[in-house]
Amino acid sequence: MTLAEFNPGGLLVAGGLLLPLLRGKFRALFLLLLPVAGLVHLSVLVPGMHGVVDFLDYELVTLRVDRWSMVFGWVFMIAALVSAIYALHLRAPLQLSAGMTYAGSAIGAVFAGDLMTLFVFWELTAITSVLLVWAGRGAKAYQAGMRYLIVQIASGTLLFFGAAILFTSTGSLEFGAIGLNSAGGWLIFIAFGIKAAFPLLHAWLPDAYPEASEVGTVFLSAFTTKLAVYALARGFAGTDLLIPIGAAMVVFPIFFALIENDLRRVLAYSLNNQLGFMVMGIGIGTEMSLNGAAAHAFTHVLYKSLLFMSMGAVLYRTGTAKASELGGLWRSMPLTTAFCLVGVASIAGMPFFSGFVSKSMIVSAAAQGGYLFAWAALMFAAACMFLPDIKIPYFAFFGRDSGKKCQEAPINMLVAMAIAAAFCIAIGLMPGRLYALLPYHVAYAPYSVSHVLAQLQLLLFAGLAFALLVRWRVLPLAEPGINLDVDWLWRGLGASVVKTVARVFEIGGYCLGALLSFKLSLFSGMVERHRLPDGFLSRSWPTGSMSLWVMLMLVAYLVLYYLGG
Amino acid sequence: MALAQHLPALQVILPLISAPLAILFRRAGPAFLIVTAAAWLSFAIAIALFLQVDASGLISYPMGNWQPPWGIEYRLDRLNSFMLVLVSGMAAIVLPYARGSIEREIPHESHYMFYAMLGLCLTGLLGIVITGDAFNLFVFLEVSSLSTYVLIAMGRDRRALTAAYQYLIMGSIGATFIVIGIGFLYLMTGTLNLADMVPRVAVIESSRPGLAALAFISVGVSLKVALFPLHQWLPNAYTYAPSSVSAFLAATATKVALYALIRFYFTVFGDNFVFGKLPLPEFMLILSLFAMLFANAIAIFQDNLKRLFAYSSVGQIGYITLGLSFDSVHGVGASIMHLFNHGVAKGAIFLLIGGAVARMTTRQAAPPAPTFERIAGLSKAMPLTCFGVVLGGLSLIGVPGTAGFVSKWYLVLAAMEKGQWWLVGAILVSSLLAVAYVWRFVEAAYFRAPPAGRETGKEAPFALLIPGWLLILATLWFGLDTSFTAGAALDAAQQLVHSGN
């Protein structure tokens, strides 16, 4: 067995579990060493199916190396390294351990060659990542984490049952193209869709991410949703349904992002919008668009974590990430401001930054494929999303001076941000290196004159619009409060469903003389006990009635046998 | 090798002799050594027998050299050699644990009695499994039952006595039913040897006495199995018994009864008759569903952890009988696997809870009940114990990577083979109920603040932690390497299902 037989995710998972055993400098060193070792591990992998193990009667492929898994493997490992550096100042071993195992299980899932292995890592990402949400501390984080966990586990369960159905019909567990031709395919599609935050299934994302700790959100933003994008690209490339879904995803978060006050939640909405680009790229399904989706996932992981890192640094130093409480921080945190601007330039698709070279691929693919409607949605979103994107640095670092004075971010945070920013610029300047990694060999030149000009025009007008909105005092719409979006559906409907179920149980309980008045509380995930011990089924019976049951059963069996035999 | 030939006899005789020897010494120390040595030896013998059956197939051992149809025969096939490993292995783990845990649960002067009773109980359970003789099976059933009543009654809680008394009454009714059933069979066939009975039963099984025999045996064994709705003796018995006894019984007693059920249904009467001609599968399916859904739902609302996991046992037994009712290789195989996997996981959980209780017990006082209030915030004081219980709980839920997943996977597969998709849903729902009660533990142990004034700031004693963790590791091991459990269980199922009777 050589190193090339092992799933590189396993290294991070195992190492992450060992982290709490170490102390002080050793822990910091080990934390850095893990992703570095992971990068070395990635470089020795050879394409093909490896690590085949027999489990039950099946052959599981724990390591599948091809161009798809490698491109995601690289970017996830880089993100793990950047996040590890960003987390170096932490003295909370549980959080570090959860972060590393989470990154490891996401990488493990990317290299999974069959649905069973995928499912195991899929669930592992859910369980480890919820610890990061809970690390945000406080009742809000606990409840958001609980909702997040339920949704993620539901996704895993759907995946499992979908895989089981596929297996019984095809006899194969291979994780290849799945398609929507069977019930199993649909279940898996929905499972992936939940993690990819499809419209209406997305509520968990803006709900949970802003509640996590400042380090936790950086980890969270990198892996879960991009893992889902990867899974969709594997299983459902060219599925037409993804095009309207992607179009909805790019358009609807704009409004929410615009009115939101919590800047980390703004980032969560803009993340959702960016996912829409990738989903649409997968839906179009040409080699060019799939390349675009992969490239966009790659650049997106880096600039999105850069943005979350800069907001995390602000939160760490000032204790808040709310637009209404911030402003004028560029004096205190000049470097963080600069890095944040690089991130915004990338996400907005400014030429010579990373977002431009990947986003334009998807847009071009939509135009070439004749998807006029999709192309229009993408252009509209690219222009409008600039408003909330620019809102982040404007309200945090410039704008009205809040009078807050603080220190620059800690050195480890700055280093992490510098690395991510360097990647953003380097990819923007030398897109060829990224293109060489992509799944398909397609010649694409992002820097044509018309392209650059069109994009610049777009951004210029969007910038003008932003300036006017500020000038006319339409922005900031900084009303502190909860912006529920469709989450009202889940919170409201979910609660009423739970109450109804509890009601039905209650009525059934009265009929049985048992299960007396209890209520299920979804938000705390806890069941409160009331008078149940008095219930007919759970109380201790007198010996006489037990014997009576024995006689009843005997009669039942006798009648059954005599009638049947 | 004269000795090697007599391994089947030694399997039972060693623990049988250890009990009176323990009583003769009248002291805790020697009694412990003798019974533990017997348990370890019988574990070694069980493994040797398992390997022997694995290599050469059926073993038939005539007791006292009286030839089979007349003398008592010990008969080993895939199924019972597998069961022997489970029963003796659990005894080998529980006994060292018991030494530490009964210190505060049982007065010192009756410790030797405790060991003797545990030895007898082990004898009885091994005997039921290994024997090929119907009446001998009944005798061993009584040996194990009587010693179990004593063991439960030794619990420090006063309710232990009522629990033991109730179990005594119910157990005796069950045993009476079984002996009536065996009597009918003897009347009709003229033989007590199970293998000899097989062709003769085939002739008379549709007659009224034959059906009555089946009915009496069904009810009698179901009582010992604690199959819903005859499970009522179980929660109290497990809750108030000493920790080591709860663990041992949960892992072995109901499992051995299930073995007897499988033996009578599949070998003696034959599944073609019992499941093919009689309307038993539907009836068993309904009872199993009730067990899976109701017992698991009731478990969620328990306040006492031991009671919670006792109800969860009733629910898990539902999975096992559900698998039997499918009457297919995958279904029966899943049942046999789950016997083992659930036994190991549940045994581990009871051992770990017992360790926590021992740490919470103050000198001279009776051990406190492990209620949710008491275990609030326990993970700070006892991280290993709590983590172990969570891992065991994951196996009860059936999370991949644990043993519970493997058996549940085959169960789901068997349901799908039958085209019973709604049953897959039912299994899912009952797994969600398991998630709920395991979550209650996680919530209490990890997220609640410890009650003010609890003085336990330490991990459970290592002597109690290690046996529990050994079983937890076994649960994880058998979740990944399924060659032993799935291999043996599916082989056994192959031998049992549609074997041509």
DSSP string, A197-257: T-TTS-THHHHHGGGS-HHHHHHHHHHHHHHHHHHHHHHHTT-TTHHHHHHHHHHHHHHHH
Residues B177, A554: C-beta atoms closer than 8 Å: yes
Within 8 A of B279 by CB-CB distance, chain A residues are: 560, 563-564
**3-class DSSP assignment, residue A106:** helix
Residues A561, B177: C-beta atoms closer than 8 Å: no
CA of B231: which chain A residue's CA is closest?
A: A546
Residues B169, A116: C-beta atoms closer than 8 Å: no
State phi, psi for A276 to the nearest 5 degrees: -55, -40
- CB-based contact A518:A506 (threshold 8 Å): yes
- Best mutation target among A94, A120, A550 (most B Cβ atoms within 10 Å) is A550
Spans of chain A, pLDDT less than 50: 479-480, 502, 505-534
- CB-based contact B244:B97 (threshold 8 Å): yes
Q: Are residues A439 and A502 in the same domain?
A: no
pLDDT in tens, A507-526: 443 443 333 223 333 333 34
**3-class DSSP assignment, residue A376:** helix
Q: Are residues A294 and A367 in the same domain?
A: yes
- Best mutation target among B161, B232, B309 (most A Cβ atoms within 10 Å) is B232
Which residues are CB-neighbours of B100 under 8 A, at least 6 positions away?
Answer: B358, B461, B463, B464
- Domain count along chain A: 3
d(CA B207, CA B225): 26
Partner A contacted by B333 (CB < 8 A): no
From A184, A215, A236, the end of a domain falls on: A236
Partner A contacted by B400 (CB < 8 A): yes
Within 8 A of A547 by CB-CB distance, chain B residues are: 169-170, 173
Q: Are residues A386 and A463 in the same domain?
A: yes
Q: Are residues A409 and A366 in the same domain?
A: yes
From A198, A214, A236, the end of a domain falls on: A236
- CB-based contact A260:A266 (threshold 8 Å): yes
Q: Are residues A479 and A494 in the same domain?
A: no
Partner A contacted by B321 (CB < 8 A): no
CA of B407: which chain A residue's CA is closest?
A: A56
Q: Which of B299, B9, B409, B330 is nearest to A120 (CA)?
A: B409
Q: Are residues A248 and A220 in the same domain?
A: no
Q: Which of B316, B269, B276, B275 is nearest to B296 (CA)?
A: B316
Please give the pLDDT value at position B322: 94
- CB-based contact A250:A273 (threshold 8 Å): yes
Give counts: helices (H), strands (E), chain B.
23, 2
From A214, A236, A258, the end of a domain falls on: A236
pLDDT in tens, A109-161: 999 989 989 998 999 999 899 989 988 877 788 888 888 888 888 888 889 88
Chain mean position to CA B431: 20
Question: Which pair of tokens denotes residue B432?
Answer: 């969600």
What is the end-to-end Cα distance of chain A in Å, rounded? 59
**B30/chain A closest Cα distance in angstroms:** 38
Residues A116, B400: C-beta atoms closer than 8 Å: yes
d(CA A391, CA B328): 64
Within 8 A of A161 by CB-CB distance, chain B residues are: 424, 428
Nearest CB among B205, B211, B311 relative to A562 is that of: B211
Please name the residue that has the structure tokens 């953003």.
Answer: A424
CA of A526: which chain B residue's CA is closest?
A: B440
Report, in angstroms and rounded to the nearest whole number, the Rg of chain A calculated over CA atoms. 26
N residues, chain B: 501
Strand ranges, E, within B77-126: none
Within 8 A of B406 by CB-CB distance, chain A residues are: 56
Q: Are residues A386 and A499 in the same domain?
A: no
**A543/chain B closest Cα distance in angstroms:** 6
- CB-based contact A283:A243 (threshold 8 Å): yes
d(CA B8, CA B129): 11
Burial (CB < 10 A; 0-12, 13-18, 19+), residue A37, is: middle
**A535/chain B closest Cα distance in angstroms:** 9
Nearest CB among B177, B208, B436 relative to A527 is that of: B436
Q: Which of A84, A223, A61 is nearest to A152 (CA)?
A: A223
State phi, psi for A50 to the nearest 5 degrees: -130, 175
Please give the pLDDT value at position A513: 34
Q: What is the dihedral of CA B486, B487, B488, B494, to 10 degrees?
A: 100
Q: Are residues A437 and A340 in the same domain?
A: yes
Q: Are residues A266 and A153 in the same domain?
A: no
Q: Are residues A42 and A58 in the same domain?
A: yes
Q: Which of residues 424-483 of B touch A (CB under 8 A)?
A: 424, 428, 436, 439-440, 443, 447, 480, 482
Q: Is the pLDDT of residue B465 over 80?
A: yes
Residues B301, A526: C-beta atoms closer than 8 Å: no
Number of C-beta neighbours around residue A373 at 10 A: 11
Q: What is the dihedral of CA B105, B110, B114, B119, to 10 degrees?
A: 160
State which residues form the domain around A551. 487-564
N residues, chain A: 565
Number of C-beta neighbours around residue A514 at 10 A: 20
CA of B406: which chain A residue's CA is closest?
A: A56
Q: Give the residues across from B304 on adjacent strands.
A: B371
Q: Are residues A473 and A499 in the same domain?
A: no
**A529/chain B closest Cα distance in angstroms:** 6
ipTM summary value: 0.84
Report the half-sphere exposure of A474 (CA within 13 A, side-chain side).
Answer: 10
Q: Are residues A71 and A121 in the same domain?
A: yes
d(CA A80, CA A121): 16
pLDDT in tens, B400-456: 888 999 999 899 889 988 888 888 888 988 888 898 889 888 888 887 788 776 655
Partner A contacted by B486 (CB < 8 A): yes
Residues A564, B486: C-beta atoms closer than 8 Å: no
**A403/chain B closest Cα distance in angstroms:** 38
Please give the pLDDT value at position B257: 95
Partner A contacted by B21 (CB < 8 A): no
Q: Which of A388, A319, A311 is nearest to A347 (CA)?
A: A388
Residues A529, B303: C-beta atoms closer than 8 Å: yes
Nearest CB among A541, A553, A561 relative to B278 is that of: A561
Q: Which residues of A touch B (CB under 8 A)?
A: 55-56, 116, 119-120, 123, 142, 157, 161, 164, 168, 515, 518, 524-527, 529, 532-533, 535, 537-538, 540-541, 543, 546-547, 549-550, 553-554, 556-558, 560-565
Nearest CB among B211, B406, B436 relative to A565 is that of: B211
Residues A540, B235: C-beta atoms closer than 8 Å: yes
For chain B, the average pLDDT equals: 89
Residues A563, B416: C-beta atoms closer than 8 Å: no
